[in-house]
Structure 1
């Protein structure tokens, strides 16, 4: 993103200007636009409903800018989403007979923050974007048109070699549901979720990878039972890295474990485990990946029938457990996700590139009760057209096995085509 240097001279400001004001002030504009078509088709539980296919054409625009002077910077950004074709259930528009496409119309302040940044220290206060590690626990949900941001104070300290301390105190999460959140009876889809949340990461870089210890304390103030049940305390560790084997072969690896239990006002007494392991092998233009993820279940959880499972309410959930988004809330019996993927990269196609084509398979089952929920097939092609433009086509096919095992457990197919512009 290009930077425009605005020189504020003493003569431009008049006789009241001081030498300090004559220093350079940098302005960085923000323009980020996305046009998307999304189709969602599912086998619904209502056989008398004529049309169970959703077709959404949406346009999202973010615009704003950042002014910086020395170590200080002020950023403001507005975000708006327009439904050009609203034949879909946005989650808050009342069109409950269609499948959900979670991109409601909205106009909002997406970010407004003040930042102090030096080499060893960054302090950010205000409404801001927060992405931690691979976004499994805290992320901005960038896949959706309306981004998730946080009203928070964040401190990042890097004053010790190879060590980073990253601590956030967030009083509100601004959700993807936009200005109409909570309408039409969708009270578990609010515009914002207030609370007292702490996200803490301490990471250390080694020659083999980065070791991270983390603690996430989620304290929801909302009175809606579905939201109160996501108040939790999660403590864990993560190790991720990569190493070359030969000139064209590279091995990558990831392992993580966490333990979660109820916290603050959560009426459910439970404890559950999270674990993941992944290996990747890059061979020239190909990348092969295989992995396993567990979101465990506590069958003895009190206050709720059928058990209660590990939840990650502030994650970028679309990245995990299949792109059909069947597991945004972990079922009471938990999830085991065994997955494998292959990707192929073409660095250049004329003046465009890279082009990346990928395919992913998920086998999704429960942590207990031996339920095979279903299998999912994902495919995607992305192309960087030029410095500012990129395009994507994407497909997800979730095939349920056996009887429906949780709310929304139906055969589901989704297709996307989109183009992005970023200044």
Structure 2
């Protein structure tokens, strides 16, 4: 187990344009505090004593044992890690509230894995670096159907295909900026200005940067056009300036439809993406999804086809802020698609067995450009609620390579306690 230190707060020295910059670790607090002076009195005066006295604390502890066997790497990975989380949210006073959340990711004994920061490159990657991190620090204004959140915060849009928290990893991805949400009638608007993405690879830089900074914008607007039918439009402009950020800088515009035809739900989405900001590659690529979910008594079945497009083999559609582990297989072979893109045809079956939730999933991966047969993947997940505040997860996934990557098997055993 490694000791935490104050350096694990993302206040690191950066180099940009020949100048050395330091982004203070307390920036989310300063950003949130300064915003308080801009808020006019609304439904009652803010009393900090009242807000603090009515605050609530939550504790969480998660332990995970993860193994990776990957052809082409002689050593198998075995990672014994844990995450301790402390969350405190004030009560609402007037229209205002605030909150803080800290995470401590630690290694318990076994460190036979490449965390991306520990230098153990002879092992496969398990992206759970150790260290202390400030996960959230925000000030929130809520007035009727209007909410403004300023500071470091969790943002999950829709299914998290374009913007999410990657909560499966120990160091959750959160965002520094301003989020404005409005729910007026059937129309829901969700806009965020993001000046920094606190990535899962932090708090320190390693093989991957712990942060991506820039001037980014995320907008999602959704409307229930009829009972059970929702249409959403979205725009993501990721201006990522440091390290490998420019290669992932892009602008995406798209539409999503979700319709309920009991017991079937249909999801369809289409998006267009092109280079943005300082991306050195000029490209244009598409993303498509068609998915059907049918829920029968005790069983849910999903069948889907997703295309992560390619610009004629020159560049691929990318998802720099997505919860990537959730999509295109749990072995994480397609976190970034090959330049020839990915066509993923998959299905899953979920049901209850003796109190446990069991999911089996199959993926067939092919190229969007060039016709290559990448490979197939099988996965199994079992979740069991031991008690109200304790759950157990076992998950295994195996990728069989054909014309892309190498055979890989991953397995997880995880306990999650919450108080």
| Same fold at TM > 0.5 | yes
Contact 1:107 1:178 in 2 (8 A): no
1:179 is paired with a residue whose SS is: coil
Q: 1:62 aligns with which of 85, 95, 115?
A: 85
1:91 positional shift:
1.3
Question: Which of 180, 193, 214 is the matching residue for 1:195?
Answer: 214
Measured in 1, the distance between the counterparts of 2:219 and 2:176 equals 16
1:20 Cα deviation after fit: 6.0
Aligned partners of 2:248 and 2:61: how far apart in 1? Answer: 32
| Mapped pair 1:345 → 2:387 | no
**1:264 is aligned to 2:277:** yes
Matched, 1:325 2:332: yes
The one of 225, 228, 232 equivalent to 1:208 is: 228
> How far is the alpha carbon of 1:23 from its aligned partner?
5.3
Match of 1:117 in 2: 142
Candidates 284, 293, 310, aligned match of 1:280:
293
**SS of match in other structure, 2:245:** helix
TM-score with structure 1 setting the length: 0.85
Q: 1:69 to 1:86 in 2, by over 3 A?
A: same
**1:314 and 2:321 equivalent?**
yes
Q: Do the aligned residues in 2 keep the contact of 1:136 with 1:316 (CA within 8 Å)?
A: yes
**CA radius of gyration, larger in:** 1
Q: 1:81 aligns with which of 105, 123, 126?
A: 105
CA distance in 2 between partners of 1:272 and 1:21 (Å): 50
The answer to whether 1:336 aligns with 2:343 is yes
Correspondence for 1:410 among 365, 384, 406? 406
- Distance in 1, matches of 2:65 and 2:228, equals 41
Pairs within 5 Å for 1:172-251: 172-182=196-206, 186=207, 189-205=208-224, 206-222=226-242, 224=243, 226-244=244-262, 250-251=263-264
CA distance in 2: counterparts of 1:362 and 1:215, whole angstroms = 28
Structure 1 alignment gaps of length 5 or more: 1-17, 245-249, 300-305
Say which of 140, 155, 161 aligns to 1:136: 161
Count the aligned residue pairs.
371
Q: Unaligned stretches of 5+ in structure 2?
A: 1-44
Matched, 1:28 2:56: yes
Per-residue CA deviations over 1:331-353 (Å, capped at 9, x if unaligned) read 1000000001111125xx5xxx5
Tell me the SS of whatever aligns to 1:415: strand
Distance 1:93 1:79 in 2: 19
Give the conservation status (yes or no) of the 8 Å contact 1:30–1:77.
no
Which residue matches 1:356? 357
User: Corresponding residue for 1:40?
Assistant: 68
Q: Distance in 1 between matches of 2:138 and 2:203?
A: 20
Distance in 2 between residues matched to 1:118 and 1:359, nearest whole Å: 43
Q: Is this contact kept in 1: 2:66–2:410, CA < 8 A?
A: yes
CA distance in 2, matches of 1:30, 1:141: 20
Task: Tell me by how many angstroms 1:144 deviates.
Answer: 0.5
Listed one character per residue, the Cα deviations across residues 74-110 of structure 1 (whole Å, up to 9, x for unaligned) are 1011111111111100112111110000111111111
Post-superposition CA distance 1:20-71 (Å, at most 9, x none)? 6785742111212100000000101x6xx4xx20000101011130112332
